[in-house]
Structure 1
Amino acid sequence: MPNNERLPHEKMRFQLVLRRRGISDQAVLRAMEGIPRELFVEASDRVYAYRDTALGIPCGQTISQPFVVAYMTEQLRLDPRHRALEIGTGSGYQAAILSRLCHEVVTLERFKTLAETARRRLAATGCDNVEVVLGDGFDVPANLGTFDRIMVTAAMEEIPKALLERLEPGGILIAPVGPHNDGQVLVRVRRGEEGYDSENLVAVRFVPALPGLAREL
């Protein structure tokens, strides 16, 4: 079967896999169905776009497996009024999913190549409520303000206090936390009236989040 004829079948199976693995938020499932994942992977990997696996992208980064994208998105409990921050744009796929579920998305990427490619992909898919910023996820520009939701899509050894402070009261942050050379735990943090409450969710493995802008690419 030619590759372009296989995609609809793979996409249908991908939705079934998400449901079987416990994704139940209908808004998240609709967003996952509506965003063409094949446009956010490398051309040579398009036949694999809807398989439940991470895929490599330039600059030594990855596009997360669909279940992880859906699970992290569901755990944020997004509302159409929310303003969301993503640390680690990568391919732009996660930002595209978020764009269908909240009012505004700001996504930071330290690699210029990835930021530029993501801008083109997001524009092509009509995600006009996403702003891609070339920047350092450990030093979010002050002019970007605060956010109702924050998602970190690369592993941090600990969540910086400065990032937590960008959460609005009642806000939620989700991030993979743990050593860069091993697995991590997905942590959800809520900002309450008197501080922050954290909860460990599931074991994950992400590429490391590094400070500063990338010197190359």
Structure 2
Amino acid sequence: MGVFRRGIAGVTTYYVGLQCYLVYHLKTAPPNNVQPNWGDGSKGMFHSGMEPVSAKPKLESATQESREPMVQAVLSLYQSKPSLGAMEFYAPEATVEDPCFLFKGKREIAAAWYNMVKFIPTSETLSYKVDHSEDWVRITVNQKYCLRGTGLDITLPSVAYLTLTRTDEGKELIINHTDEWYGKPLLERSNHFGFELIGTTARVFRRVHGWIVTRYSCAPNVREL
């Protein structure tokens, strides 16, 4: 029993320390500087959590205008206005990841956005900018969130990277949605050379957080996704 307690205490201490390091990372890490290029696609990206999807079809026929409905759907999610229509822009095996959570699959993603409304009933987009590349989209957004029951407003600038794939019917879908608060890269093994354990365990904890908060879903008809 003593060994078990010491183990629990050790894991708890490491977890708290990792969350403190995350705050330090968000304050001090340099922002990502990923430049869109219609010719490069995802091959030119050095960006945590956004490895190119293998054997994905090229998207040369995509245009900024054709992607506008997708962009507006994603913005509506940030505005605490989730809808099953917005979920249609995510691939079945899509992931959504931010510094605290990692969600896998459309059901978890829908549950996450709908559950967020319970804590953040209103959210206002103060400004946004969209950049396009061959198979990904970057949305730089400044969002003001209102926390339920507190009267507090939090303004959070972030950069959302949407990695895209295409169905056999030619429709573009989001396969990976990475949200970087303050434009800072996520804690990943790839960006903590020499300290791989930090990035690896940070992603494990993000996944645990994501799994826990989506066990209950406020999303309607989520089983149909």
**TM-score w.r.t. length of structure 1:** 0.26
Bigger helix share: 2
The structure with more radius of gyration: 2
**TM-score w.r.t. length of structure 2:** 0.25
